[in-house]
């Protein structure tokens, strides 16, 4: 038995042994870890906390270290225009708090030499002081590069799609330039048949379209282009752009399935090429089965299941009326019969649950529920609820294919949301695989957060 005789009696107090002194906190590190990439508006430039007492050395006061002035050290010169960093980061996109200064001749859109705070050559990038992302570092290294860098990066990107991946043999719709993933931050280009669909997020990239796009056309054999610049981005970047796109739609093929891409009403660049390999994989699993495609958009998964996979019956649900109409035209292109339902996916799933209707295969590919950290809790709740409702209309042992395109949720976080939805319903969940975007959406090692698409393949009982 435990000995309680040493406990103090009523009214007695016994002093506790003194704790060992807490070790002194390490000094503030001026170089943050590159993984702590801030969202736009966040800053790294917090001042160090002042120490509570005088410095522990005898006699004299410790002199304050002055910050090194911006610019080249005495007796040296830097190639202009230049930008100097205040903090170290391997990220391609650097925010205002991380910039120390720039040369007086550095103009918006310039390709500038980048130096670290010690004055060493760090790389080269696109500069725009008025933007929320004023510096986009395209090249890391001490060697000096110029405008020829853009053509070299473009050639490298095209070689990946045409030579290594051989995409032209299976489709005429794929991503040609994937922004940071191809070392061309601020530029996204998709190929759709004979047309290039271009999204621009950077003034520097916009200024170079006149040189880059003809090179892409020449290499791919495309002849037309559609350029899109978001209104907000145009304002903050200072891009003056009047859309004069005369290409309304184009027909494409993907693994034998035909689609019509509508640039006037389509989302993003018009069609989601990132799901291409996942659509083909689904087709191999649905032969003779009934399939429910929730948030179907224009029918990418639905048509792959029916035309390529030989599904017995496919139901496609989406709230966007224009997307449903486009999906019907896509089905007509392939002479495929699909049941189209214009309805909110949440409401449809609840009604089917009440009706007792279930499917052996359910696909959940919703739009981005989590747009910013301020709405993170709400976005995560929506993902969990949608997956729960998808499981409720899935036959025991059925296949669930669930997707998220929210970059603020990583694969492990998304997997936890799906798991929580299953546990909340008392269901068993068996993960089969985790996939993402195709190889034409590459990810650079210094920008892992651009791996935005997450697809989980699972069985549920």
Given a cut of 50, whether residue 423 has pLDDT beyond it is: yes
Reported pTM: 0.81
Across 15-110, the runs of DSSP E, i.e. the strands, are 82-85, 93-94, 99-102
- Mean pLDDT on 402-423: 94
Instruction: Verify that 390 and 260 share a domain, yes or no.
Output: yes
- Same domain for 449 and 321: yes
pLDDT digits (tens, 9 = 90+) for 291-328: 999 999 999 999 999 999 999 999 999 999 999 999 99
CATH number at residue 104: 2.30.130.10
Quick check: helix, strand or coil at residue 74?
coil
Given a contact cutoff of 8 angstroms between Cβ atoms, the answer to whether 435 and 365 are in contact is: no
What pLDDT is stored for residue 193 in this prediction?
Answer: 96
Model pLDDT for residues 156-193, shown as the tens digit of each residue: 999 999 999 999 999 999 999 999 999 999 999 999 99
Q: Return the closest-CA partner of residue 286 out of 440, 399, 379.
A: 399
Closest C-alpha to 167, from 99, 104, 255: 255
Cβ-Cβ contacts under 8 Å for 407 (sequence gap 6 or more): 449, 450, 452
* Beta bridge pairs of residue 403: 455
What pLDDT is attached to residue 32? 35
In this structure, what CATH number is given to the domain that contains residue 218? 3.30.750.80
What pLDDT is recorded for position 379?
A: 87
Query: Do residue 207 and residue 355 come from a single domain?
Result: no
Q: By residue range, what is the domain housing residue 305?
A: 249-461
Total count of domains within the chain: 3
Question: What pLDDT is attached to residue 350?
Answer: 93
Q: Does residue 183 fall inside a structural domain?
A: yes
State which of 247, 275, 300 marks the end of a domain: 247
Answer whether residue 62 shows pLDDT above 90.
Answer: no
Task: Pick the last residue of a domain from 220, 247, 274.
Answer: 247
Residue 258 · residue 354 · CB < 8 Å:
no
CB 231, CB 242: distance < 8 Å: no
Q: How confident is residue 258, by pLDDT bands cut at 50, 70 and 90?
A: very high
Does residue 242 sit in the same domain as residue 224?
yes
Is 216 within 8 Å of 222 (Cβ atoms)? yes
Mean pLDDT of the chain: 86
Span of 76-90, 207-221, 266-280, 426-440 with lowest mean pLDDT: 266-280
For residue 126, CA distances in Å to 106, 129, 441 come to 10, 10, 22
Which pLDDT does position 242 carry in this prediction? 79
Give the closest residue to 140 by CA, choosing from 98, 86, 177, 91: 91
What pLDDT is recorded for position 298? 93
Q: For residue 221, is pLDDT > 50?
A: yes
Rounded to whole angstroms, the Cα distance separating 338 from 327 reads 9
Beta bridge pairs of residue 323:
none
Q: What is the pLDDT of residues 365-390, one digit of tens each?
A: 998 888 777 888 888 999 999 999 99
d(Cα 265, Cα 210) in Å, to the nearest integer?
26
pLDDT of residue 71: 83
Residue 8 has pLDDT above 80, yes or no: no
From residue 459, give the alpha-carbon distance in Å to each of 107, 352, 418: 55, 20, 12
Question: In whole angstroms, what is the distance from residue 414 CA to residue 63 CA?
Answer: 51
């Amino acid at each position: 038995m435990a000995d309680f005789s040493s406990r103090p009696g009523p009214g007695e107090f016994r002093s506790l042994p003194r704790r060992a002194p807490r070790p002194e906190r390490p000094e503030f590190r001026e170089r943050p870890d590159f993984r702590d990439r801030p969202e736009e508006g966040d800053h790294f430039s917090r001042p160090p906390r002042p120490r509570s007492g005088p410095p522990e050395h005898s006699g004299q006061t410790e002199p304050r270290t002055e910050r090194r002035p911006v610019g080249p050290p005495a007796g040296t010169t830097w190639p202009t225009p230049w930008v100097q960093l205040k903090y170290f980061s391997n990220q391609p996109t650097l925010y205002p708090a991380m910039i120390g200064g720039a040369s007086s001749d550095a103009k918006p859109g310039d390709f500038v030499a980048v130096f670290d705070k010690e004055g060493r050559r760090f790389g080269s990038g696109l500069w725009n002081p008025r933007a929320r992302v004023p510096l986009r570092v395209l090249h890391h290294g001490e060697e000096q590069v110029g405008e020829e860098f853009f053509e070299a990066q473009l050639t490298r990107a095209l070689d990946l799609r045409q030579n290594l991946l051989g995409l032209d043999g299976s489709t005429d719709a794929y991503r040609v330039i994937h922004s940071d993933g191809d070392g061309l931050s601020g530029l996204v280009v998709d190929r759709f048949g004979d047309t290039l669909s271009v999204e621009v997020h950077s003034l520097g990239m916009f200024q170079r379209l006149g040189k880059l796009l003809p090179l892409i056309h020449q290499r791919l054999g495309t002849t037309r282009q559609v350029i899109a610049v978001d209104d907000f981005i145009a304002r903050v970047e200072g891009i003056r752009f009047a859309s004069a796109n005369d290409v309304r739609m184009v027909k494409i093929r993907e693994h034998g399935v035909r689609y019509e891409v509508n640039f006037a009403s389509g989302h993003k660049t018009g069609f989601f090429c990132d799901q291409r390999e996942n659509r083909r994989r689904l087709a191999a699993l649905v032969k003779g089965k009934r399939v429910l495609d929730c948030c179907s958009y224009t029918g990418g998964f639905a048509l792959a299941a029916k035309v390529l996979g030989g599904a017995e019956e496919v139901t496609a649900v989406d709230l966007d009326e224009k997307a449903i109409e486009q999906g019907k035209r896509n089905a007509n292109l392939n002479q495929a019969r699909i049941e189209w339902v214009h309805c909110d996916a949440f409401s449809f799933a609840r009604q089917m649950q009440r009706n007792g209707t279930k499917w052996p295969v359910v696909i959940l590919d919703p739009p981005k529920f989590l747009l910013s950290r301020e709405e993170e809790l709400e976005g995560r709740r929506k993902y969990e609820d949608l997956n729960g409702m998808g499981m409720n209309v899935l036959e025991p042992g059925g296949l669930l294919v669930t997707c998220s395109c929210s970059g603020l949720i990583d694969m492990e976080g998304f997997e936890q949301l799906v798991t929580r939805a299953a546990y909340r319903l008392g269901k068993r969940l068996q993960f089969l695989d985790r996939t993402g975007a195709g190889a034409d959406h590459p990810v650079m090692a210094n920008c892992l957060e651009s791996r935005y698409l997450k697809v989980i393949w699972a069985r549920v009982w």
